[in-house]
């Protein structure tokens, strides 16, 4: 391979684009980037780049996409997470100055999103891409390049199969170039063979990474030859805290990875307790200016919510350490991430979700425990791939001379173990997770519904092109495919006529609205039963059906919640459509029934306008949990409505979809259609006799502004195209306090 440097100036791109990169400090490509270009990235060749975090994968994608667009093509950039989609979208929007348009879509799983096609680059999650493919979105067929970010996530049980199917479908577009970006994994060559791609594997990084183990008062960087040892000056009796303090002292930032939410918050709390040594020492290390900046973030966190967890987070940040996990609401997560990016927050105690993609580099990364809890297997060691993703966050390009990562050894004999198990270990092979019936049934229905396959052979032929088929035994696969076809036919989702397969109207709907066929089966069964009986269907009845479906990631039962919810279920027997005989069913089924009761109760409280603080504290859940539960329930309630209509069930519309989205009662639904009105403002309007959009239209500006102040009222009047008295414009008093909280609340809800 040619080792000579590859300059931006030498790339086949217009001068103004070359200059854009040079002005941003990128004059020449990093060696692995150069290798990828040399192997044909800009000549349209399929490419698999398996190179470490922060070594410039995004730049490769940009160069390839720009080349296509200059030549009249169109690009799709697929990401695994919404947060990552936003990050990439913001970046690609910088190309607007060259007349290159970027669009983003992460939600609305039933829409064709034809409007997105006007863009040159579209950033989407794999689920959104799959839904557009199912709905026959035309512009997808005009793509000339697809970039798949974090392609190693093919290995992930919940989302990998969708990514795999999306890639298999997209590969059928003629002359499409696929650029797949991956972390370093074991079987890159196998993946490259599947993609018919040129492969570049490298462990080169722009900033060197020293990987080590802490034992006692000593940091031992074992990846170095000779091994580098460094004594830790601080002494809090907590090695991870000592390393964090040492990092701050050196002017750096530190990420501390914990294995659970509980330990993640506990670590941050120890730092924030004025009685503890950690806090005393961090207090000395931070300057007054730094403390002021932390206090500002802390105030914003307090503003974003009034839950105890939010107050705890605010308190921790005020005292120098943040925590970050999926239970936080979206505004809080963003405040912590931005605070860290801006170098205001020096230490984040986090769960591994933070390592999954977002560009949050730190001088040091500490992994406090290499164990992770698994519901089936108990505490198990994390995979090397996850370890590499976490430690890969260490070292900020252009800012740090090197990055350092540290595992904690609790005893001296663990040092060798950790060295072999992680530091010198190669990441595992990835494997397809498409082989299960759960993963396959939804995609098989979609293939049939969209006409990709019209026979069993057609289904098998299509699936023979997947990564699963490329790497596994087909006979077992075919058996599972046949079981799925049987399931779909049994449940009226497909029909077979002389070997000709066709989706029924129900099957077509299920595929388009993007739900698991089993979800549809549960809904149909329960709605049928309900419509045949005389029972009164309440919001709780439908919420319980929704919470039984496999598309809802329910919140688990804790402690003695089983019995408490069993009693509740018994008291509300009349409202439950399908009350199983708990003595006759398995323990697991009984538990999941009771779990559906708990989750339905949470959602009922939400749509009955209980305060968020009250809900999260009563059920001991995070705000983020509540929002993702209500978001997914809102999506399934849409499915309930559509299926009910299609099948002609006589179920009264109780507006669950909108109510779940905003957490509001039925009488507020019409007000919630206005952009700046959420649950609290709608309630205020309603209680003041302004209970509908028409009523707002007939209410004087001054009356509405008494409730919300001028600024918000102007926004509402603007949206409704109502005249605003000229003397009211911009003489506004500030928005009342709880309304500000509501703004954040709404933002969060749309953010998942």
Which residues sit at the interface with ligand ATP, rule CB under 6 A?
Answer: 25-26, 29-30, 33, 53-59, 359, 397
C-beta of 184 vs 305, nearer to ligand ATP: 184
Q: Which is nearer to ligand ATP, 53 or 126 (CB)?
A: 53
DSSP H stretches of helix in 305-343? 308-318, 330-341
Nearest approach, Cβ of residue 183 and ligand ATP (Å): 7
d(CA 696, CA 673) in angstroms, rounded, equals 13
CB of 361 to ligand ATP, least distance (A): 8
- Phi, psi at residue 75, to the nearest 5°? -120, 145
Closest separation in Å from C-beta 49 to ligand ATP: 9
| Dihedral (CA of 699, 701, 705, 708) sign | positive
Any idea which residue has 């995609």 for tokens?
A: 443
Q: Which is nearer to ligand ATP, 13 or 577 (CB)?
A: 13
Helix (H, G, I), strand (E, B) or coil at 563: helix
CB-neighbour burial class of residue 173 (10 A; exposed 0-12, middle 13-18, buried 19+): middle
Query: How far apart are the C-alpha atoms of 569 and 522, rounded to whole Å?
Result: 19
What b/e readout covers 500-509, taking b as 16+ CB neighbours within 10 angstroms?
ebebbebbbb
**Shortest spacing between CB 360 and ligand ATP, in angstroms:** 9
d(CA 436, CA 5): 47
Beta bridge partners of 182: 50
Smallest separation, CB 635 to ligand ATP (Å): 29
Task: Find the farthest-apart pair of alpha carbons in the chain and give their distance in angstroms, rounded.
Answer: 79
Least CB distance to ligand ATP at residue 403 (A): 12
- Minimum Å gap between C-beta 326 and ligand ATP is 19
CB of 334 to ligand ATP, least distance (A): 18
Distance of CA 730 to the CA centre of its chain: 38
Residues found in the chain:
752
Q: Which is nearer to ligand ATP, 312 or 359 (CB)?
A: 359
Q: Which is nearer to ligand ATP, 354 or 409 (CB)?
A: 354
Give the torsion sign (CA, 112, 114, 115, 116). Answer: positive
Burial of 370 (0-12, 13-18, 19+ CB in 10 A): buried
Least distance between ligand ATP and beta carbon 59 (Å): 4
Q: What distance in Å separates the CA atoms of residue 124 and residue 436, rounded to the nearest whole number?
A: 25
The answer to whether residues 16 and 154 touch, using CB atoms and an 8 Å cutoff, is no
Closest distance to ligand ATP from the beta carbon of 490 (Å): 44
| Contact partners, residue 282, CB within 8 Å, separation at least 6 | 245, 248, 271, 319, 320, 321, 347
Place of tokens 């217009």: 14
Rounded Cα distance, 400 and 456, in Å: 57
DSSP string, 80-137: S-HHHHHHHHHHHGGGGGGT--EEEE---TT---GGGGGSSEEEEEHHHHHHHHHTT-
Give yes or no for a contact between 488 and 441, defined as CB atoms under 8 angstroms apart: yes
Say whether 218 sits in a helix, a strand or coil.
strand
Question: Least distance (Å) from ligand ATP to the CB of residue 206?
Answer: 6
The CA distance from 165 to 182, in Å, is: 17
404 labeled binding residue: no
Nearer of residues 57 and 683 to ligand ATP, judged by Cβ: 57
Which is nearer to ligand ATP, 18 or 746 (by Cβ)?
18
For residue 47, list its beta bridge partners: 179, 198
Nearest approach, Cβ of residue 6 and ligand ATP (Å): 9
| 227 or 399: CB nearest ligand ATP | 399
What's the min distance (Å) between Cβ of 154 and ligand ATP?
16
List of residues 6+ apart from 560 with CB closer than 8 A = none
- Residue 235: CB atoms within 10 Å: 12
Q: Please say whether the dihedral angle defined by the alpha carbons of residues 457, 109, 261 and 220, taken in this order, is positive or negative.
A: positive
- What's the rounded Cα separation, in Å, for the pair 297 and 319? 11
Beta carbon nearer to ligand ATP, 44 or 397? 397
| Complex with ligand ATP: residue 131 or 184, whichever CB lies closer | 184
Measured distance CA(662)–CA(678) in Å, rounded: 6
Write down the least CB distance from residue 33 to ligand ATP, Å. Answer: 6
Query: In this structure, are residues 369 and 259 in contact, taking their beta carbons and an 8 Å threshold?
Result: yes
Instruction: State whether residue 521 is helix, strand or coil.
Output: helix
Residues 6+ positions from 54 with CB-CB distance below 8 Å:
205, 206, 207, 359, 361, 392, 393, 395, 396, 397
Minimum CB distance to ligand ATP, residue 160 (Å): 18
CA atoms within 13 A on the CB side of 323: 29
Give dist(CA 492, CA 445) in Å, integer.
11
Quick one: DSSP state of residue 152? G
Q: Which two tokens stand for residue 627?
A: 């929002």
Query: Residues within the annotated binding site?
Result: 33
Q: Which residues are annotated as a binding site for ATP?
A: 33
């Amino acid at each position: 391979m040619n080792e000579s440097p590859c300059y931006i100036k030498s790339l086949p791109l217009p001068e103004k684009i070359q200059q854009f990169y040079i002005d941003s400090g990128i004059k020449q490509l990093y060696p692995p980037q150069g290798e990828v270009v040399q192997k044909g990235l800009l000549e349209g060749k399929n490419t698999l780049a398996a190179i470490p975090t922060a070594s410039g994968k995004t730049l490769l994608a940009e160069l390839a996409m720009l080349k296509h667009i200059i030549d009249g093509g169109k690009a799709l950039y697929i990401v695994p997470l919404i947060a990552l989609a936003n990050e990439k979208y913001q970046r690609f929007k910088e190309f607007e100055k060259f007349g290159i348009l970027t669009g983003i879509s992460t939600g609305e799983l039933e829409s064709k999103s034809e409007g997105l096609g006007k863009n040159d680059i579209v950033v989407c999650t794999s689920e959104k891409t799959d839904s557009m493919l199912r709905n026959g979105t035309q512009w997808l067929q005009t793509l000339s390049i697809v970039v798949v970010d974090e392609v190693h996530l093919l290995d992930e049980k919940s989302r990998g199969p969708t990514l795999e199917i999306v890639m298999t479908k997209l590969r059928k577009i003629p002359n499409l170039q696929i650029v797949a970006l991956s972390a370093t994994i074991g079987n890159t060559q196998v993946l490259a063979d599947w993609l018919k791609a040129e492969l570049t594997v490298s462990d080169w990084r722009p900033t060197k990474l020293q990987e080590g183990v802490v034992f006692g008062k000593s940091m031992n960087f074992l990846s170095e030859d000779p091994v580098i040892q460094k004594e830790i000056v601080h002494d809090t009796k907590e090695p991870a805290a000592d390393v964090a303090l040492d990092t701050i002292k050196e002017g750096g930032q530190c990420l501390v990875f914990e294995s659970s939410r509980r330990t993640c918050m506990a670590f941050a709390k120890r730092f924030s307790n004025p009685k503890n040594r950690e806090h005393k020492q961090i207090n000395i290390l931070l300057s007054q200016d730094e403390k002021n900046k932390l206090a500002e973030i802390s105030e914003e966190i307090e503003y974003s919510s009034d839950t105890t967890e939010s107050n705890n987070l605010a308190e921790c940040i005020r005292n120098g350490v943040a925590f970050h996990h999926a239970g936080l609401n979206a505004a809080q997560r963003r405040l912590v991430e931005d605070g860290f990016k801006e170098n205001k927050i020096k230490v984040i105690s986090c769960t591994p979700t933070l390592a999954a993609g977002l560009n949050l580099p730190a001088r040091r990364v500490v992994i406090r425990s290499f164990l992770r809890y698994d519901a089936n297997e108990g505490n198990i060691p994390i995979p090397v791939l996850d370890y590499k993703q976490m430690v890969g966050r260490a070292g900020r390009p252009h800012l740090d001379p090197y990055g350092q990562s540290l595992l904690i050894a609790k005893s001296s004999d663990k040092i060798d173990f950790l060295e072999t198990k992680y530091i010198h270990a190669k990441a595992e092979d990835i494997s397809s997770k498409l082989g299960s019936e759960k993963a396959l049934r939804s995609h098989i229905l979609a293939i049939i519904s969209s006409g990709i396959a019209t026979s069993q052979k057609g289904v098998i032929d299509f699936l023979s092109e997947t990564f699963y088929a490329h790497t596994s035994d087909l006979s077992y696969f075919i058996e599972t495919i046949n079981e799925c076809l049987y399931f779909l036919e049994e449940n009226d989702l497909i029909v077979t006529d002389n070997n000709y397969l066709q989706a029924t109207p129900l099957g077509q709907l299920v595929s388009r609205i993007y739900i698991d066929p089993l979800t549809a089966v549960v809904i149909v069964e329960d709605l049928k039963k309900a419509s045949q009986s005389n029972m009164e269907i309440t919001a709780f009845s439908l919420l319980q059906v929704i919470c039984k479906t496999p598309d809802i990631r329910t919140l688990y039962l804790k402690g003695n919640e089983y019995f408490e919810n069993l009693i509740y279920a018994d008291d509300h027997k009349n409202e439950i459509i399908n009350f199983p005989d708990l003595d006759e069913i398995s323990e697991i089924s009984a538990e999941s029934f009771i779990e559906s009761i708990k989750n339905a109760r949470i959602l009922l409280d939400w749509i009955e306008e209980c305060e968020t603080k009250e809900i999260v504290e009563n059920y001991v859940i995070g705000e983020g949990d509540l929002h993702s539960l209500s978001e997914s329930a809102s999506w399934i309630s849409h499915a309930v409505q559509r299926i009910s209509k299609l099948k002609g069930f006589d179920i009264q519309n109780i507006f669950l979809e909108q109510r779940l989205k905003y957490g509001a009662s039925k009488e507020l639904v019409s007000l919630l259609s206005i952009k700046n009105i959420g649950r609290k403002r709608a309630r205020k309007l309603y209680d003041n006799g302004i209970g509908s959009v028409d009523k707002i239209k007939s209410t004087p500006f001054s009356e509405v502004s008494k409730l919300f102040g001028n600024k918000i009222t102007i926004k509402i009047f603007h949206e409704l195209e109502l005249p605003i008295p000229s003397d009211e414009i911009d003489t506004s008093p500030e928005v009342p306090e709880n309304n500000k909280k509501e703004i954040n609340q709404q933002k969060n809800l749309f953010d998942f």
